Amino acid sequence: MISENNQGIRCKCGGKLKKGAGEVEFFGIDFGVKPVNICTKCGSEYLSQEVMEKIEAEIKKRGLFGLEKRGRVSKSGNSLVIRIPKEIVDSLGIKRDLPVLIYPSERSKLVVEVERK
Ligand SMILES: [Zn+2]
């Protein structure tokens, strides 16, 4: 991350950063529109240190911090299976038969959205 004091620093793609505002979302929590530095070349958004700290505090408050777990893809019949660790199940209140939406967000990132009624 690039902090607000580092104006003039370039994006890792080599593009210039310009001040703007962007919709900020982490762990499915909507933090609203925050000031961000946007790369004019690739469109990457960089949050200021202040905004990052606010997000971190909120994530800690909600008990979502440190929930990353390592797992492994296994196989069941013709499908591949990824187990959801108990800590994440408990924290998000995921229940059997809840509908989920699964989609890739990057080449090596998979998003699983729990659809709540
Ligand atoms: Zn860039």
Same domain? For 10 and 34 the reply is: yes
Q: Where are the beta strands (DSSP E) in the chain?
A: 17-26, 29-39, 45-47, 73-76, 79-82, 100-106, 109-114
Which of 44, 65, 86 terminates a domain? The answer is 65
pLDDT at 5: 46
The token pair that represents 70 in the structure block: 């390592």
- Domains in the chain: how many in total? 2
> Does residue 6 surpass a pLDDT of 70?
no
Instruction: Quote the ligand 1 centre to 87 CA distance (angstroms).
Output: 35
Instruction: Quote the ligand 1 centre to 37 CA distance (angstroms).
Output: 10
Instruction: Quote the ligand 1 centre to 81 CA distance (angstroms).
Output: 35
Domain extent, residue 33, equals 1-65
Label residues 19-38 b or e (16+ Cβ within 10 Å = b).
eeebebeeeeeeeeebebbb
Domain of 19, CATH number, reads: 3.10.20
Residue 113: Cβ-neighbour burial (10 angstroms; 0-12, 13-18, 19+): exposed
The token pair that represents 26 in the structure block: 């982490």
Per-residue pLDDT tens digits for 16-74: 999 999 888 877 778 889 889 999 999 888 888 888 888 888 888 877 777 778 889 99
Instruction: Quote the ligand 1 centre to 109 CA distance (angstroms).
Output: 19
The token pair that represents 110 in the structure block: 């998979």
Instruction: Quote the ligand 1 centre to 8 CA distance (angstroms).
Output: 13
